[in-house]
Structure 1
Amino acid sequence: MSPTFNPDKYQELLCKYQPKLIKTEAENERALAIVEELMHRPNLSLEEDELYSLLVTLIEKFEREYYSPGRSSTPASILLFLMEQRDLEATDLIDLLGSETTIAEILEGKREFNSQQSQALGAFFQVDPALFYPTNA
């Protein structure tokens, strides 16, 4: 028998975490922490998975609006900003982007992200992958 969605259990999760529209970086960090907690749980229940999806949607909306690139932003500068926010080093992204040389070239603006790298970074940072598309695309 397949599991069924339990509205009462979902209501308990909603009461515990109180998800809402994200309006500040602090609220975004709180939501990211909850998402990370859920990501590390083995075998999420249907209700936990629904909460996870809701939070990711709220985070994406906030980050799309809050971190939307301005004229001076580049895909590389956006990546540097996100890395700084998560206290990551370039070597932490080797699995997503390739070799250290590739990462250095991207961060120096000598190489653009390819579609696969953009998608991987979007998923990793839970932001719109379009942030990493070439500026002339």
Structure 2
Amino acid sequence: MLVALFKVFTPRAPMHPIADATQYKTAIVAMNGLIDAGAGDEAHPLAPLLGLLGEFVADYEASEMPWPDAPPAEVLRLLMEQHGLKQGDLPEIGSQGVVSELLSGKRELNKNQIARLSERFGVSPATFF
């Protein structure tokens, strides 16, 4: 019975180190649900689960999302990869040619592009500085 419950639970909250962007998104959704349920309080019975997921998320972010040391073009490339996007999939920042120039470093992101990318990917504008 425990195995059956585990098989139902783990697709909703990864109980192992996060291996890819899909598992990362799933873990974030699970963490948000736990926080909404009150698990942010250490006395809550689900607080240890929130802590475990938080550790998995932090480890994944440290290895797969090198924001502080990465140049803006590399951050954009990583976000595009994680979301399965191609250069032509970002019309909000320009044509495919503009995106290509941004990714190659021939062009820098402007404030409007940073604002649009931040909104699209749900990250802080500081991510691109």
TM-score bracket for the superposition, by shorter chain length: 0.5 to 0.7
Q: Where in structure 1 do 4 or more consecutive aligned residues deviate above 2 Å?
A: 23-28, 61-71
Structure 1: gaps of 5 or more residues: 1-16, 35-49, 52-57
2:90 aligned counterpart, secondary structure: helix
RMSD: 3.7
Residues 1:64 and 1:117: Cα distance change in structure 2 (over 3 Å): farther
- Tell me the TM-score normalized by structure 1: 0.50
Contact 2:68 2:127 in 1 (8 A): no
The one of 55, 71, 75 aligned to 2:72: 75
Deviations 1:31-66 (A, max 9, x none): 56x5xxxxxxxxxxxxxxx89xxxxxx9xx969877
Residues 1:64 and 1:120: Cα distance change in structure 2 (over 3 Å): farther
Q: Tell me whether 1:130 sits opposite 2:108 in the alignment.
A: no
Measured after TM superposition, the shift of residue 102 of structure 1 is 1.2
**What is the aligned residue count?**
94
Q: Aligned residue for 1:54?
A: none
Q: Aligned residue for 1:9?
A: none
Q: Aligned residue for 2:100?
A: 104
Measured after TM superposition, the shift of residue 119 of structure 1 is 1.2
For 1:64 and 1:123, the matched residues in 2 are separated by: 19
- If asked which structure has higher relative contact order (CA below 8 Å, sep 6+), I would say 1
Q: Tell me whether 1:30 sits opposite 2:30 in the alignment.
A: no
